[in-house]
Amino acid sequence: MKKTYLGLMMVLLLAVPAMNVFAQRKLTIKLASLAPENTDWGAALNRMATDWARISNNEVELVVYHNGIQGREDAVLQKLKSNAIQAGVFTSIGMSLISPEVITMSAPFFIRNDAELDIVLAEVKPELEKRINDQGFFMLTWAKSGWLKIFSKTPVSTPSELKRMKVGSSSETPKLTQAFRSMGYQITETSLNDFLIAVNAGRLDAICQSPIYVASMQVFTTLKYMASINIAPFMGGLVLNQRAYRELSRRSYWNQLLEVALRTGRDIDTSIGRLENTAVNTMLRYGLIDEQLSPEQERVWYTEFEASMPALLRNGTFDQALYDRINGILRRYRSR
């Protein structure tokens, strides 16, 4: 009886370390996203969670907090630093809180279309990722978030026409607000949730915003004109904190997890472009007027902002080194 008891104790003692090792293999990654779950962003992140669980044999559980329930981007960043969450989806604005240079990608009328954005990203993405990673994070993947456009009560074809209007700009985009204000535009910072109220109350004549957002909030019922010119691209990015990265990168299936994340970024790239086109076409059916600017009119916008850029670089609104790098890429591309 005594021998049986001792043997059982030995089995249990040997099993405890093994159980601890197994328990340590389980890793929960909490991911915060501002995007609603019922969007392409939300669906892509849910697929990523499912794929990570399958690849890791359920050793990695990716828990996605959609709909901004973890707070604004600055709050999410603080939670990443404290390890309250381990991953976050950020816009260009959020990533610029990690590495301020990133917002230079969204300087007004600098990068002008998807083709230019693809060319620039192909060359500067490794540099941007290094800057972010050097701040104690790991950049998992990038994805496009669409283009900012001008929506207005009356047609806007030239900078002088927009300067006569009260223009709403998101309070989450202070660098862009600073850029427009420095050039004499009447900019009013407004939270995203209050745009429709401000427009209907007559406090705003125009806004600079994504067509996807304008369609979802039905702001276009009052701001019936959309200028065809792109103001600036916005990027999205999926970022891990270093603690999660160190743990995940030690695992044998890390490269597979990383490939899923990269594929998620590519899927979102495709879906965002499709969603933006759908939003615009839907608004056109319900009365939106797409003001097509001529090449000469577009050149007026480009020239004005090019002339203002030296001052914006001197005062630190945008990063001089990254601007010069991107400008060189664009000049080579446009001269072909």
Per-residue pLDDT reduced to its tens digit, 139-152? 999 988 889 999 99
pLDDT in tens, 60-116: 999 999 988 999 889 999 999 999 999 999 988 888 899 989 999 999 999 999 999
Distances (CA, A) of 271 to 11, 166, 266, 268: 54, 33, 9, 5
Q: Across all residues in the chain, what is the average pLDDT?
A: 89
Q: Which pLDDT band holds residue 23 (cuts at 50, 70, 90)?
A: very low
Provide the pLDDT confidence category of residue 216 given band limits of 50, 70 and 90: confident
Where does residue 146 rank: exposed (0-12), middle (13-18), buried (19+ CB within 10 A)? buried
Q: How far apart are CA 312 and CA 305, in angstroms?
A: 10
- In this predicted structure, what is the pLDDT of residue 91? 86
Q: What's the mean pLDDT in 199-208?
A: 91
The pLDDT of residue 19:
41
DSSP H/E element including 177: helix 174-182
pLDDT, residue 287, reads 95
Question: Average pLDDT of 212-239?
Answer: 91
| Residue-level pLDDT at 9 | 44
Q: Does the structure show a pLDDT above 50 at 170?
A: yes
Mean pLDDT across 112-128? 94
Q: Where are the alpha helices (DSSP H) in 66-147?
A: 73-82, 92-98, 114-133
Residue 127 has pLDDT above 70, yes or no: yes
User: Quick one: average pLDDT of 180-188?
Assistant: 90
Tokens found for residue 70: 């973890």
Tell which wins on pLDDT, 294 or 92: 294
Q: Is the model's pLDDT at 16 over the cut of 50?
A: no
Residue 327: pLDDT band by 50, 70, 90 thresholds?
very high
Q: pTM for this one? A: 0.85
235: Cβ–Cβ under 8 A, 6 or more apart, which residues?
91, 92, 95, 102, 105, 106, 142, 143, 144, 145
What average pLDDT does range 215-232 have in this prediction? 92
| Domains recognised in the chain with CATH numbers | 13-334 (3.40.190.170)
> Can you say whether the dihedral through the CA atoms of 223, 226, 227, 229 is positive or negative?
positive
DSSP-assigned letter for residue 136: T
d(CA 155, CA 140): 41
Asked if residue 171 has pLDDT above 80, the reply is: no
Q: Mean pLDDT across the stretch 29-45?
A: 89
Residues near 74 by beta carbon (within 8 Å), at least 6 away in sequence: 94, 97
pLDDT at 22: 39
pLDDT at 38: 84
What tokens does 327 get?
């400008």
Paired tokens of 17 = 């370390």
Specify the DSSP element, H or E, that contains 187.
strand 186-190
* pLDDT number for residue 211: 92
Task: Give the pairing of strands 225-227 and 137-152.
Answer: antiparallel
pLDDT in the model for residue 196:
83
Kindly tell me if the per-residue pLDDT of 283 is higher than 70: yes
10 pLDDT higher than 60: no
Q: How many helices (H) and strands (E) does the chain have?
A: 13, 10
For the cut 60, the answer to whether the pLDDT of residue 36 exceeds it is yes
Each residue of 220-247: b (16+ CB within 10 Å) or e?
beebbbbbebbbbbbbbbbbbbbebbeb
